[in-house]
Structure 1
Amino acid sequence: MARTGGMWAALALAGCAAVPAERPVSPAEPGAPLSVLRPPPPGARTAEAFDTTTPAERAAATAAPRAPEALLGRTVASLGDPADPGFWAVTPLVARVQPGRLVDSATGFSVLVELRPREAEAGAGTLVSLPALRALGVPLTALREISVFGAAP
């Protein structure tokens, strides 16, 4: 198991070079303050090192939604690129980038995220950022059914 984890960390680190330096990002909730996404430090090997979100950002992401929302569907979630910072989900349930919320069926926890479209050919499941999975209380190696909500029409 340790060897697999080490191999995973090495593969995850390989993608770090493609992550740009700190960049501002629009929040998942309209009207929320702009966040700065910080890439993980070189040599990051643990979930804590890859999760560069601040306590304030985590609190904002787990707050109740302020806008009406609608269930877009249920999907199986797995860990996305751990070197891509912030709260996001790449899902085939949306056709454009938009604010949304994920709810874990097992824990009942929810997190506000940026929903990003995923081509159907790329897979049927949803890739979720490391900070979002942690906020949901989902083990990083788990495949978990989640509900995806987006802005109400």
Structure 2
Amino acid sequence: MSVILRRIAPPVLILALAACSGNPFTRTETPVEPVPAAPVSDAKVAATTTPAGSGVSIGTGPGKSAEALDTTTGKERAAAATPSAPVSDKLGRTIASLGDPAETGFWLKTPLVTSTRKGRVEDADTGKTAEVELRPSGGARGSGSQLSLAAMRLLGVPLTGLPELVVYTR
């Protein structure tokens, strides 16, 4: 009887285990119903289409609007909007995203400079300019830049946008 068990037991054991795990060729599964997409609220649409400086919320809670975080004065905005001297050198073009909104002032962190200096940025689409402090980002050339909240508002670009800027140094 021991010979019979040795010959029959392995195939029976294999069949028993296969039955427990289910055969992938004969198993039927209930189809999964697709989950409907969450409706997009008008507030979300407005936040993505509202121009910079018009009450766009940067975060949640009170005091998080662009106006609340931009502490520059009207005098400072006027100075940044008026070129103070002719530019001396075109450094290149860069794509900029919004930098840290808590850092005040008019600045651009960019890999186009290796030391802090005065400069000017120009929106490649609109031609609007802003006087800024050019700060080294430490990134590789072509890695993109970060523009201050105040400078983005002055240029009139959306806070969630990625404007192409022409960068000049003084």
**TM-score surpassing 0.5?**
yes
Aligned to 2:94: 75
Q: 1:131 to 1:8 in 2, by over 3 A?
A: closer
Residue equivalent to 1:119: 138
> How many equivalent residue pairs?
120
Percent identity over paired residues: 47
The structure 1 residue matched to 2:65, chosen from 46, 51, 56, is 46
- In the other structure, the counterpart of 1:106 is 125
- Code of the residue aligned with 1:77 in structure 2: it is A
TM-score normalized by the length of structure 2:
0.63
Separation in 1, partners of 2:133, 2:143: 18
Higher strand proportion, which one?
Answer: 1
Matches of 1:70 and 1:121, distance apart in 2:
20
1:107-132 deviation per Cα after TM superposition (whole angstroms, max 9, x unaligned)? 11000000000112598111000000
After TM superposition, the structure 1 stretch with the greater mean CA deviation from structure 2, 134-143 or 62-71, is 62-71
Equivalence for 1:9: 59
5+ residue gaps, structure 2, are 1-39, 48-56
Secondary structure at 2:114 match in 1: coil
2:75 aligned to 52, 56, 68, which one? Answer: 56
**Contact 2:96–2:162 (CA<8 Å) still a contact in 1?**
yes
Q: Corresponding residue for 1:146?
A: 165
Map of 1:25 onto structure 2 = none
Larger radius of gyration: 2
Whole-angstrom CA distance in 2 between matches of 1:68 and 1:144: 21
Amino acid at match of 1:107: T
Deviation at 1:44, TM superposition (A): 2.1
Q: Do the aligned partners of 1:72 and 1:148 also contact (CA within 8 Å) in 2?
A: yes
**C-alpha distance in 1, partners of 2:97/2:109?**
10
Runs of 4+ displaced beyond 4 Å? none
